Structure 1
Amino acid sequence: MTNSTEPAQSEATTSAGQHTRSEATSAGQPAQSEATRAAGRRVHAFTDDALGDLDATGVAAAIRDGSISAAEAVGAAIARSAAVEGELHGLVRDDFDRARRRASEPRPGAFSGVPSALKDNVHVAGLAMTEGSAAFPTTPVAKDDALVQQFLGTGLIPIGTTTMPEFGWTASTETLRGDTHNPWHTGYSSGGSSGGSAAYVAAGVVPIAHGNDGGGSIRIPASACGLVGLKPTRGRLRTPEADRTMPVRIVSNSVLARSVRDVAGFFADAERSYRNRTLPPIGLVDRPTQRRLRVGLMLDSPAAPPTDPVVRAGVEDFGRLLESLGHTVEPYAAPVPEFFADDFASYWRLLALLGSRMGRQMFGEGFDRSKLEPLTDYLASDGLRTLAKAPVFLPRLLASSAASRLAFRRGPDLVLTPVLTQATPQLGFLGADVDPAVHFQRLLDLCGFTPLANASGGPAISLPAGQNADGVPFGAMLSATHGAERLLLEVALQVEAARPFPRIQD
């Protein structure tokens, strides 16, 4: 518990050096204005209420032993949302009334009665799904999709749906209608595309929230907001119908949380209702690994410019921590073909083309293509020009799955990389009003590591690794072969125990 009696705390970042961006941090990014620096604040909702500073596992235990009720936990989350939403802008639609009703008789599960949130790109009965776009109809959907049913089956109670950039194309949750701010410093991005969920978890509104990842969209916001973000193996959780029809199934659903045990607990409980029999079970991961592992260290992406110095130093330090825990860390060059970056970018363009041109068929008659944002239009136009190459790049992306398995079979147990090639960007670097050609090139340069696991379908986890000069987090990523989520979580528990993650409320 904190000593505060207010439902939220907003702290001006005035400690030494926090308003001076280092040369390393600003590499490739526009200089932050004096106005943005002055406005940047640390914002959180931790207070002495029913949620306190507990993680989701702790809240669930308090509900089970009667220390608090589910109604009190959900009520606290709603109050916390009201306290910080004006500064963070992380919620698209509230579902407060239904959350209160659910809290009166919470469903059983490992997280029975624990407040949470769902990202605005899954079907939630009674709420509109708009994928961060003004072009979508706001008609409520009729029923929960399969993934939402599995999520609710763990006992979690959503208080609403969270923000994302249009279609999730970019790595920052910024739209022409408004931006989601990073609670560690509101002048910075909360990442994308699960940026609203990440902001709400980092700020303490809810202890755990849904996200999904088609190019880094869980791991990037986890990195930006100092959270744990696991992209699981393709097919680990139930797959929404729209994702099953994609030419290459790059999207995986998961959660963002402040502790490793929350992520581990979610996947263990989710397996009660559905387990993909083609993958080894994860089970409950409740203790660190005892194995001594071979870890390949890859500091520069084969598909992007060199990693900036502040991130490089943080990931190198993370590697030294792994060595101190008994693992062997050695330089590694992933066998990634030169054409991978172009192939993945071409696939993004193809998906934008499909979403733009077939919006009414896919999303309903109310879809208004004229309201799409510039980046979507740009990607769709490029997609039309590159459509003829689809018979080449789609098979190559599909083949990356077998190539990844072979690389891990012959190589290290895990691969350690940065999440992004640069530290967490400021708001505006990937803004919705940036020239889309510039925006997309910045995106490709920034996201040099995360798409590899989306194409191959393998698992990867982001863990806190450092902070920039303004106190904004950035992460390190550990990747493994298909089905090895248990190993990733065991190592993550080991790292967390050896070096507890920074807390925003401290």
Structure 2
Amino acid sequence: MKTSRREMVAGTIAVAATVTAGGTVRAATSGSGHVLDTHDALGLAELVKTRQVSASELLESAIERAEKRNPQYNFMAHKLYERARAAVAKGVLEGPFQGVPWLIKDLNTNIEGELTEQGSRLFKGNRAKVSSELVKRYERAGLVIFGKTTSPEFGLTATTESKLMGDTRNPWNPAHSTGGSSGGSAAAVAAGVIPAAHATDGGGSIRIPASCCGLFGLKPSRGRVPMGPPYTEGWGGMSAHHAVTQTVRDSAALLDATHGLELGSRYTAPTPERPFLEEVGRDPGRLRIALNVTPALGTPVDPDVVAAVREAGRLCEKLGHVVEEAAPKLDMDAIGKASFSIIGSSIVANVNARCAALGIKPGPDVLEAATLVYYQMGQKATGADYAQAVNDLLIASTAVADFMTNYDILLSPVVASPPLPLGVISLSNPDIEAYFKAITAYVPFSGLMNQTGQPSMSVPLAMSKSGLPIGVMFSGRYGTEATLFRLAGQLETAAPWRNRKPRLPRV
């Protein structure tokens, strides 16, 4: 019987090839699985380049999976299927990710003429006037963008729930959150639709969903990846763009394809010594690692999370690194107030501009309950308050940089507990006091790396007793993504996680 190309893509015959995360090729056995399950993004690109599959076949497979799994997990904000098909028909560029299907987060990442709604009813129907520089770099790398993923309103919380799009559910347990604000991207990757997806991080929004969904997630240094146009920084420099991935090498190669100064930017991260992909597998040397499991504000940390971090510390010691308990001494009250002032002011500017364009006033009919509180706080902030906030974060950055002269890595939890049930930290929670108490307790670690501009990664090293993923956070000095990728590659080899996946419905 003649075998169709579709069957070959699905991996149901022995002539298909499997490219492992390390890049070696071996003959696949019958029933080896769909290539979307057995290959990372670089592996898929290699199949396209060697003509074992076509970009069209990969795209249609990803679309089919998205259509079958999105109803259960709700990760798709906008479908760009016809745009993607037209791009493939025109011919994808021969970049490192040639023909690989790709999703971008629907938050401040624009495709000219397409919807950019930012998880907000206020921006419903908003279409971008220009494409982001990052989108252009993705497409030059050969990626085929076929949709945009869900985000909470303006990326303001550590879950992906919104009145505009509904709740994005965790493939490991649909009653629980995917984390946020890049939870749509993380859910799509965890659900096996694609092996990697775009994500953004203003206070942990790459690392938190990576932790919640069992993925690798790296937030780059401030200024490493383009943010505009029109704005080349977000939240006063706290926000960064990159990805959530199944493998470390995909993250490194994606950063190689996208990093570098953009026109109009006020700063850029230091130029790397070599491609980041070449750092994966290199010996990181004997690293000095500071371990901290105690939030500065004294809020509790779940025992499973503490155990995960301490076990990661022991693993690092077995790998030859020096680990000791230490943490920078910081004025967390000043840092917290500074962040609220900057974020609130940014929301006011964003909301006021949109409301002026629509001829409406901001209110609960277009903004969620917690968003309105941020907006009201921002309205009260003066220019002097904003300047003081910037100064307070500069002081914090200097203090952390001084602390890191004695250490290569800061090891800590990503979040204080395994993934929360849906609803606990939703922006629409009518009990605002309960919301702010819960969000403060849940994310006491990740925001510092945004406030100080350092690179930081969530590594999927553990599982909770209840069967939910727990990521462990490793943060480096400013500009030292190379060190993080070396360590991540070492950890991936010593404690591989790629085959640890949620049980998913068959497609």
| TM-score normalized by the length of structure 1 | 0.86
Structure 2 unmatched ranges of 5 or more:
1-7, 13-30
How far, CA to CA, are the matches of 1:419 and 1:213 in structure 2? Answer: 13
Kindly state the Cα deviation for residue 185 of structure 1 after the two structures are TM-superposed.
0.9
Find the counterpart in structure 2 of residue 221 from structure 1: 209
- Whether 1:313 aligns to 2:298 is no
Flag the 1:413–1:245 CA change in 2: closer, same or farther, 3 A.
closer
Q: Give the direction of change, closer, same or farther, for the CA distance of 1:115–1:334 in structure 2 (3 Å limit).
A: same
* CA displacement 1:233-273 (0-9 Å, x = unmatched): 11101221354365621111001100001001111233489
The higher-RCO structure (CA 8 Å, 6+ apart) is 1
Asked if 1:438 is matched to 2:425, the reply is no
**In the aligned structure 2, how far is the partner of 1:391 from the partner of 1:109?**
43
Whether 1:125 aligns to 2:112 is: yes
CA 456–111 in structure 1, closer or farther in 2 if over 3 Å, else same: same
Residues 1:463 and 2:450 are matched in the alignment? no
**Root-mean-square deviation (CA), in Å?**
2.5
CA shift at 1:80, angstroms?
A: 0.4
Q: Provide the secondary structure at the position in 1 that maps to 2:400.
A: helix
CA contact (8 A) 2:248 2:280 kept: no
Question: Can you list the C-alpha shifts for 1:49-72, whole angstroms capped at 9, x where unaligned?
Answer: 452421111111111111111111
Shift of 1:140: 2.6
Q: Distance in 2 between matches of 1:50 and 1:298?
A: 39
- Counterparts of residues 79-478 of structure 1 (less than 5 Å): 79-104=64-89, 105-121=91-107, 122-177=109-164, 178-244=166-232, 246=234, 248-271=236-259, 278-281=269-272, 283=275, 284=277, 285-303=279-297, 305-338=299-332, 339-360=334-355, 364-365=357-358, 369-370=362-363, 371-387=366-382, 389-409=385-405, 411-434=406-429, 435-478=431-474
Q: CA deviation at 1:126?
A: 2.6
Which of 43, 52, 56 is the equivalent residue of 1:71?
A: 56
Residue 311 of structure 1 aligns to a residue whose secondary structure is helix
Q: Is the 8 A contact 2:340 2:374 kept in 1?
A: no
1:440 offset after TM fit, Å?
A: 2.0
Structure 2: how far apart are the matches of 1:319 and 1:58?
31
Measured in 1, the distance between the counterparts of 2:361 and 2:246 equals 38
Q: Is the 8 A contact 1:49 1:76 kept in 2?
A: no
2:496 matches 1:496:
no
Q: Give the secondary-structure state (helix, strand or coil) at the position aligned to 1:244.
A: coil
CA–CA distance in 2 between the matches of 1:2 and 1:309? Answer: 43
Name the counterpart of 1:62. Answer: 47
Whether the aligned pair in 1 keeps the contact of 2:214 and 2:460 (CA below 8 Å) is yes
The 3-state SS of whatever aligns with 1:496 is helix
- For these two proteins, the number of residue pairs brought into alignment is 463
Moved more, 198-207 or 278-287: 278-287
Do the aligned residues in 2 keep the contact of 1:304 with 1:447 (CA within 8 Å)? no
SS of 1:464 mapped into structure 2: strand
- Name the CA distance, whole Å, in 2 between partners of 1:366 and 1:321: 58
Contact 1:303 / 1:341 at 8 angstroms: preserved in 2?
Answer: no
- Tell me the distance in 1 between the aligned counterparts of 2:220 and 2:251: 11
Which segments of 5 or more consecutive residues in structure 1 lack a partner in the other structure?
6-45
Aligned-pair distance for 1:344? 2.1
Q: Normalised by the size of structure 2, how large is the TM-score? A: 0.86
The secondary structure found in structure 1 opposite 2:123 is: coil
Contact persistence 1:2–1:52 (CA under 8 A):
no
Q: Which residue of 1 aligns with 2:18?
A: none
Q: Distance in 1 between matches of 2:269 and 2:239?
A: 18
CA distance in 1, matches of 2:359, 2:147: 22
Provide Cα deviations, 1:141-163, integer angstroms capped at 9, x if missing partner. 23311121122221111110000
**One-letter identity of the residue aligned with 1:93:** H
Q: 5 Å matches for 1:36-55? A: 48-55=33-40
Distance 2:471 2:75 in 1: 21
Preserved contact between residue 134 and residue 227 of structure 2 (Cα < 8 Å): yes
**In 1, distance between residues paired with 2:319 and 2:160?**
36
Q: Secondary structure at the match of 1:135?
A: helix
> Matched residue of 2:237: which SS?
coil
Q: 1:366–1:203: structure 2 CA closer, same or farther, 3 Å change rule? A: farther
